[in-house]
Amino acid sequence: MNKDIGKPNVYSGMKILHHEERFRQWLQYEFEMDKTGESDNMIYPIMVEMHLNTRACNHNCFLEDIRGCGGNWPIKNTQWTRQEGLNFLNQLKTAEVKSIPFSGGGEPMFHPNFDEFLSEASTFADVGLITHGGRIDSFSRAKSIVEKATWVRVSIGGATEETYRGRHGIGRTEVQNCWRGLEYLIQARKEVIKEREFIGMPESVCTIGVGFLTNSQVSHEIYPLTGIVREIGADYLSVRPDHYSTDDSSFLIEKARSDFQNQSFSVFAPYMKFNNMGEQIKKINPLIEVPYKDHFSTVAGGDGEGNLDCFNVNREQGDYGNFIKDSFETVWRSQVRVKKLKSFLKDPRTHYRSHYDITSKYLTDFRQAYLVTNSEAEREDLVQSWILNRDQNVKHVNFINN
């Protein structure tokens, strides 16, 4: 596999170039740090992924030991109170955060204030939702999500009921609930499109996709699942290797892509995460040394802990401060975060996936080129050329790496 694109391209490591001001600020920060070891430039994140709880969910995925969620994960469930969540969102608004995906941790729709958080966040930022879909139990519930969210991705456990039940530890009814939730979303979107066409703004309607985590036991279901998901009317299927999979499913994904992809349906797969999986697991050849992306996107766990990325959430190696105990501003400006960001990938406990972040790879290359310039004019030319040549086909630019 040699590309990770589909149409429209909602996943791209180059989205950062659509945020010229913050991108320039970051380059300046890196330049000053390199020359003098200090900088007053502070880059606020573009995206804050918010987990509403640490593990609440009615599924019992066999991935939970590595996802940090679900029935058997050995941590207690913690969640934001209504007031803590609303305060935090208010602080993100002040910091001009541009996107907030709600994800897990556990299942975001298990939080009693989920609807209120979603509504509040959508008043100032683009909102995304990753859910198993089983709690989308009516057309009206689906419609209220579709009206507010920029995108929703429903995580599906398999093409067949047997596989789905086995992987998620659930019964037949819950499998049906999850598929029904997806169908409600698709129906609701048709309604919202009609309503928006009526008022002349049809273009801004929620993208609906399906996520499938694959491994050697289930990769044969990629192909039939792609057909089912397209038939239902979703915009895309995103296939990713599960967190410790060593399976290279490139061939199967390419086949599904070539047979099912069309103008209104895409198959996405992060090629980098599939290539040389064995090597990646051993961290023989890490792609990056510093996760520069973490200047622009971060994660707030269900316990309020700020974490550099979702792979390490609920784990000490990525935590850098608590947004419930301290203000967003205090935690974000803290030296703990800045130091941790620099040393993060040297910690042997860091999940290997964190060593293969494509946005950080692009940023590493930009930084390197910027730092070896000889004059301000040269630096300006360089930045101009990157911005001019950025990919115009990218969608959801406010969602860094999502």
CB of 71 to ligand SF4, least distance (A): 6
- The span from the CA of 127 to the CA of 150, in Å, is 6
Nearer to ligand SF4, 15 or 55 (CB): 55
CB of 312 to ligand SF4, least distance (A): 16
CB of 305 to ligand SF4, least distance (A): 17
- The span from the CA of 296 to the CA of 294, in Å, is 5
CB of 7 to ligand SF4, least distance (A): 27
Nearest residue relative to ligand SF4 (C-beta): 70
Nearer to ligand SF4, 53 or 401 (CB): 53
Q: DSSP secondary-structure letter at 43?
A: P
124: its two tokens: 């100032």
60: its two tokens: 């019992």
Q: With the C-alpha atoms ordered 318, 323, 326, 328, is the resulting torsion angle positive or negative?
A: positive
Instruction: Name the site residues for ligand SF4 (rule: CB under 6 A).
Output: 57, 59, 61, 63-64, 67, 69-70, 104, 106-107, 132, 155, 168
Nearer to ligand SF4, 106 or 181 (CB): 106
Nearer to ligand SF4, 64 or 294 (CB): 64
Nearer to ligand SF4, 64 or 235 (CB): 64
Q: DSSP secondary-structure letter at 381?
A: H
Q: With the C-alpha atoms ordered 38, 39, 40, 44, is the resulting torsion angle positive or negative?
A: negative
CB of 84 to ligand SF4, least distance (A): 21
Torsion of CA 126, 86, 336, 19, to 10 degrees: 20
Nearer to ligand SF4, 45 or 106 (CB): 106
Encode burial over 275-296: b for 16+ CB neighbours within 10 A, e otherwise: eebeebeeeeeeebebbbbbbb
CB of 55 to ligand SF4, least distance (A): 7
